[in-house]
Structure 1
């Protein structure tokens, strides 16, 4: 079995954000100046630089620190609370570093992320190799607080830092022949022990893809940070995708290649288990995984006595923004 559903007691009660810390985080949002944003994106505002003072500092390249000073920060949605930083960084899937939820945090520190280049190729007017700095140079960092729903039926709420993928696509100028965008993860076995171990049955490198209109949607984010800090290696440093209305495996980590292609690419999980994982992977409570229901989810953190179970929302709660992308499609078949 390639994906294991974690037990409800995997997270301890001690990991829950203290009420005092949570309320203090809310207070620093007072007095922020409003700034305009696309109508489908929650309002963005300037925020106090100490907003995530309780999150461990991390070494970051100079360009990131410079961008951080001019970041547009987002107010926390009234009906959500952030997943504690430790849960978001110590409970995740990144199979290049091992199959366990804690393996990425234990094993990813050895991944070298500087320098980092992304190959852009395919049906595009501006192909080439770009550094992360070059990709982000013209854009302002934005914070986006998104729900993250794993196909394994657990979920989080994470504040990401990045900019809309659509901005980069417009700069790269894909041709009219480009119908899909294909992404590829770093494959470096000497630094990624999961590629050498029992989980090496995956056909590396890890590949994901989006239809062009999905990639151009303003909610689709290229992220370089989270919780006001640079991305940790285990969360996909230095560059990852975030597509909040899809299951988490679509949000590919540690991207080294972006290709604009004519035909729908074969993605990793779709290729390995097509009866279980479709190309679209939209969050849909009405379409069960063959081995478990998707109608409910376990929001982290939780405990044995308080597993924090809630109803799953269609498109992970972003239906008003994205459902038009799938008009006329049979979502039970095109899953």
Structure 2
């Protein structure tokens, strides 16, 4: 089993360069007892976060922060992998609100601070697998999506959860350069997938607030699915009794199914999914892709009896 290896003694020096770790420790020490410890230097706006360690981990090396934050798909900021890092500084993330509606007891537009009130942050080190056959290992900071659903009060008829990304052309140059794309970006999960404890909302990574190019201020993370399911910069969550549309499925249903579970036995029509390229390379290079991205012990039961070739 790849996931849920207990690493209660995990330290920042285990998952980042020692010099970076020491610098961050000094900064945080200077702001002891403060939930958000302050700016981390230069033009960066990242804040150190208070969070607890968990048993969610993997037995492979964590991807370097510089790679996680510079190699991204976020088409609202451009289609090149380095475009989000170059352009996402334009995004205004404060104030931020999330509209929650549909089959819920408490619909409304929730201010981000109110939405996150009372929710404890935790670190989860997850494998991340892109449909383009590359992978990372990311130390996310966040919490289970089920906590937000519980706040809103899911009604019994809710079978799916739909998500929508911010669409703000004035701050997102990729929207203007690709007007034919069906903005805003939308995604969805089945209700049992959304409520699974592995499914999380990330508000940070590497102990700091989430960089804008990675989906600030909050994004979905579903580690057993291809990365495009993990929708960024969420502004709307809707509980519904009907399967919601998803962006890539609308664009190319034959290539991008609703479920999009990582499956090395089902190739993309234009490339194999059997192996993956590890971003950062190092001694790993390429490796075999595990079913459900290595989380089969936890999630395979969700799809019992389903034909995973048909329901891809």
Coarse TM-score class (shorter-chain normalised): 0.7 to 0.9
Distance in 1 of aligned mates of 2:185 and 2:7: 33
Q: Say whether residues 1:293 and 2:272 are aligned partners.
A: yes
Q: Give the structure 1 partner of residue 302 of structure 2.
A: 325
Kept in 1: contact 2:145–2:200 (CA 8 A) = yes
What's 2:59 paired with?
79
Count of aligned positions: 290
Aligned partner of 1:278 among 257, 267, 284: 257
SS in 1 for 2:69: helix
Aligned to 1:97: 77
Larger mean CA deviation between 161-170 and 246-255 belongs to 161-170
In the aligned structure 1, how far is the partner of 2:294 from the partner of 2:10?
25
1:282 shift after superposition: 0.1
Q: Match for 1:213 among 192, 208, 225?
A: 192
Q: 1:42-61 counterparts in 2 under 5 A?
A: 42-43=5-6, 45=8, 54=20
1:105-140 CA-partner distances (Å, limit 9, x unpaired)? 000000000000000010100111112222221111
- Where does residue 130 of structure 1 map in the other structure? 110
Q: Are 1:46 and 1:72, in contact at CA under 8 Å, matched by a contact in 2? A: no
Cα distance, 1:63 vs. partner? 5.8
Determine the structure 2 residue equivalent to 1:29: none
Question: Are 1:42 and 1:74, in contact at CA under 8 Å, matched by a contact in 2?
Answer: no
1:200 deviation in Å?
Answer: 2.9
CA distance in 1, matches of 2:7, 2:114: 24
* Residue 118 (1) aligns with residue 98 (2): yes
Q: State the SS of the aligned residue for 1:90.
A: coil
TM-score normalised per structure 1? 0.81
Query: Contact 2:129/2:262 (CA < 8 Å) preserved in 1?
Result: yes
Does 2:145 align with 1:165? yes
CA distance in 2, matches of 1:236, 1:113: 10
Unaligned runs of 5+ in 1: 1-39
| Corresponding residue of 1:144 | 124
CA distance in 2: counterparts of 1:175 and 1:78, whole angstroms: 35
Measure how far apart 1:99 and its partner are: 0.5
3-state SS, counterpart of residue 73 of structure 1: coil
The residue aligned with 2:219 is: 240
8 Å contact from structure 1 (residues 132, 239) kept in 2: no
Q: Contact between 1:44 and 1:72, CA under 8 Å: does it hold in 2?
A: no
Aligned to 1:222: 201
What is the CA distance between 1:176 and its match in structure 2?
A: 0.9
TM-score, normalised with respect to structure 2: 0.87
> 2:226–2:261: 8 Å Cα contact kept in structure 1?
yes
Structure 1 range deviating more: 93-102 or 78-87: 78-87
The gaps in structure 2 that reach 5 residues or longer are 28-33, 39-46
Cα distance change of structure 1 residues 219 and 307 upon mapping to structure 2, 3 Å threshold? closer
Aligned-partner SS, 1:196: helix
1:213 alignment partner, SS class: helix
- Partners of 1:277 and 1:78 lie apart in 2 by 27
Shift, 1:79, TM fit: 2.5
Matching residue within 151, 156, 166 for 1:186: 166
Q: Is the alpha carbon distance of 1:47 and 1:209 closer, same or farther for their aligned partners in structure 2, counting shifts above 3 Å?
A: same
C-alpha spacing 1:49/1:275, structure 2 compared with 1 (3 Å): closer
Structure-2 separation of matches of 1:287 and 1:249: 17
CA contact (8 A) 1:63 1:133 kept: no
Deviation (angstroms), 1:330? 0.3
- CA distance in 2 between counterparts of 1:68 and 1:106 reads 22
Residues 277-314 of structure 1: per-residue CA shift (max 9 Å, x gap): 000000000000000010000011127xx770100000
Q: Is the 8 A contact 1:105 1:234 kept in 2?
A: yes
CA offset at residue 82 of structure 1? 0.7
